[in-house]
Amino acid sequence: MIKFGTDGWRAIISDEFTFANVKKAAKAIAIYIHSHKLNNKPLIIGYDARFLADKFAESVASVMETAGIDCFLCERDTPTPVVAWEVKDKGGCGAVMLTASHNPPQYCGIKFIPDYAGPANAEITKEIEKNLLADFIIENKKKGKIERFDPRERYFQYIERFFDVDAIKKAKLKVVVDPMYGSGRDFLDMLLQRYGVLTEEIHGYRDVLFGGQNPEPEEETLKELRTKVVEMKADLGLALDGDADRFGIVDELGNFYTANQSIAMAFEYLVADKGYAGSVARSVATTHMIDAVAKLHNIKVHETPVGFKYIAEVMMKGDVVLGGEESGGLTIKGHIPEKDGLLADLLMVEMVAKRKKPLSQIWLDLKKKIGTFEGRRAKIDLNEEKKANVLNGLKNNPPKEIGGIKVTEVKTIDGVKVILEDGSWVLVRPSGTEPLVRLYSESKDNNILDKIQQFCYNLTGGPDFGRDPATH
């Protein structure tokens, strides 16, 4: 069954993700393009480094050709944010990206990026899903044109406007890059080399099995990067996920930084050093370190449901400095409303260069300003009945206190988020695809986190919370 979820449709290759189903999804997108009279503009088609992703992309192009829609098809596997930006660069009607992002190698996926160059909202994805059932023949007197292109140089010229390249060159930094065998190879390393950074790349070739692990930049998957940074006495280690829309950061000591930590540092740097003004957007599961930085600078915080499409909606409506989510998505003011791991990594490089301090010291400086936060997360297996009972119980009869600390607010924009008087919080969020609930908590006090942990254990009957890969 083809179903477009949080970020497109993903399935196992040769099981549900077949050429027939890809063509069916492509036809549904073509119907959407025609229905909204966008077929006079070109469609961008890109793909990541996964097995057969290039061939699936060619199948999409063939459907569009028959439908009379002109296409620009990437010559090689390309980062999702680059493909999304090309929609703006070429005045396109949108883009189709063949990617399963950070999912295991047996998966592939297809996502539609509308003409605003960000994630498709719920209204658009519902319309495309409805089109899957349509018995509709697109009649055109002439076929669409397919043109192969390489967007790399155009993106390189564009992204440079966000950074002080001279300052980066003067810093003479040494950086280790890990694209995790994905589509960020020959993108991030080449950008850094242009900026005068001595660059060493690992896993810089296409491997459809991603070295036997998920192409997701987390502490466990970046062990080799962390070791290499220390061995080379590098200033930074920078990672990207399979399609380069998510990022991973390692400091000069080999310490891994969670997305929560990195986003907080980036936000503070943009406001304090680069003079960015406006509000900030984060998902309901993302750290309140963002709120602490915002409070220092009298900045409004927008809290959204989980999913970058919601952050994108906020960014397109207002003057937003940064949008970020704890799963590794970040974009900034003036850029496309889509997460961009290349931009995020380059922002960390500029910050280290301009502040003339190692990242470990920049992190300590931030903690002095806002305090030390620690986060924990876990997932608890619950059948659908128990999952519903837990969520309904929290919504209809929320606790008045947890561990002796008063509950001051309960939010239900996505799951149930309980906020305590001291600023600590816990989020209980149901999975939309699996029989489980996801749990997130954060506090400045480990003892409080232990009490929240016990509360969640009692609530769900599940195991103890796991700690985040790094405290923050």
For residues 309 and 445, what is the distance between their CA atoms, to the nearest angstrom?
A: 32
For residues 264 and 348, what is the distance between their CA atoms, to the nearest angstrom?
A: 11
**Which segments of 207-278 does DSSP mark as H helices, in order?**
223-232, 259-272
* pLDDT for residue 32 is more than 90: yes
* pLDDT for residue 7 is more than 80: no
State the greatest distance between any 2 C-alpha atoms of the chain, in Å, as a whole number. 72
CATH 2.160.10.10 fits 374-467, yes or no: no
Burial (CB count within 10 angstroms: exposed 0-12, middle 13-18, buried 19+), residue 167: middle
Query: With a threshold of 0.75, does the pTM exceed it?
Result: yes
Give, in words, the CATH class of 258-339. alpha beta
For residues 98 and 245, what is the distance between their CA atoms, to the nearest angstrom?
A: 13
Residue ranges of the domains in the chain? 9-150, 152-256, 258-339, 374-467
**pLDDT tens sequence across 60-92:** 999 999 999 999 999 999 999 999 999 999 999
- pLDDT confidence of residue 3: 77
Helix and strand numbers, DSSP H then E, in the chain? 15, 22
Among the listed residues 117, 112, 114, the one whose alpha carbon sits nearest the alpha carbon of residue 129:
112
* pLDDT for residue 139 is more than 80: no
Among the CATH numbers 3.40.50.720, 3.20.20.100, 3.40.120.10, 3.40.710.10, which is that of 152-256? Answer: 3.40.120.10
- pLDDT confidence of residue 470: 40
Whole-number Cα distances in Å, 412 to 42, 158, 216: 40, 39, 29
The CATH H-level (homologous superfamily) assignment of domain 9-150 is Alpha-D-Glucose-1,6-Bisphosphate, subunit A, domain 3 (3.40.120.10)
| CA dihedral sign, ordered 462, 465, 469, 472 | positive
Instruction: Report, as an integer, the average pLDDT of 184-192.
Output: 98
What phi, psi does 251 have (nearest 5°)?
-90, 180
Burial (CB count within 10 angstroms: exposed 0-12, middle 13-18, buried 19+), residue 120: buried
**pLDDT tens sequence across 452-468:** 988 988 888 765 544 44
Rg (CA), the chain: 22
Report the range of poorest mean pLDDT among 54-68, 373-387, 410-424.
373-387
Burial (CB count within 10 angstroms: exposed 0-12, middle 13-18, buried 19+), residue 276: buried
**pLDDT tens sequence across 297-317:** 999 999 999 999 999 999 999
Tell me if domain 9-150 and domain 258-339 are identical in fold: yes
* pLDDT for residue 150 is more than 90: yes
